[in-house]
Amino acid sequence: MNGSWLLPILAILGLAVITLVTRAFFMIPERELPMPDWLRRGLKYAPLAALAGVIAPELLMTDGALLRTLADARLPAVLCAGGYYFWRRSILGTIALGMAVYLPLHIGLGW
């Protein structure tokens, strides 16, 4: 039996330690770490920026290139879903309407 199992085990343990330390970093000090007001205000927008950074390329690109046509099922689906959200402020309704627009266009029309 060779030692080929040792390297994956060490990698998993190392990743577990790194994950534990980085997630517990803010709980290790006994008192709250001082944070400038400009940083505290900026961190309020971090979740929105991360969400936009994940969603925008998925909506506007395909195979690593920008969309070349408006006949893409994602565009009308996101427009309808966005409009519904601003009208009703319902996450579940937004998802349901977006999928109700997307699926027939994508599966039915092949967009």
Residues 16-32 have pLDDT tens digits of 999 998 888 877 778 87
Q: Based on the structure, what is the number of domains in the chain?
A: 1
Arithmetic mean of pLDDT, 24-49: 86
Q: Looking at the domain assignment, is residue 86 inside a domain?
A: yes
Q: Looking at the domain assignment, is residue 92 inside a domain?
A: yes
Q: Looking at the domain assignment, is residue 38 inside a domain?
A: yes
Q: Looking at the domain assignment, is residue 44 inside a domain?
A: yes
What confidence tens digit (pLDDT) does each residue in 68-84 have?
888 889 999 999 999 99
**What range does the domain containing 51 cover?**
8-61+75-109
Q: Looking at the domain assignment, is residue 46 inside a domain?
A: yes
Report how far residue 94's alpha carbon sits from residue 45's, in angstroms, rounded to the nearest whole number.
Answer: 22
Q: Looking at the domain assignment, is residue 15 inside a domain?
A: yes
Q: Looking at the domain assignment, is residue 1 inside a domain?
A: no
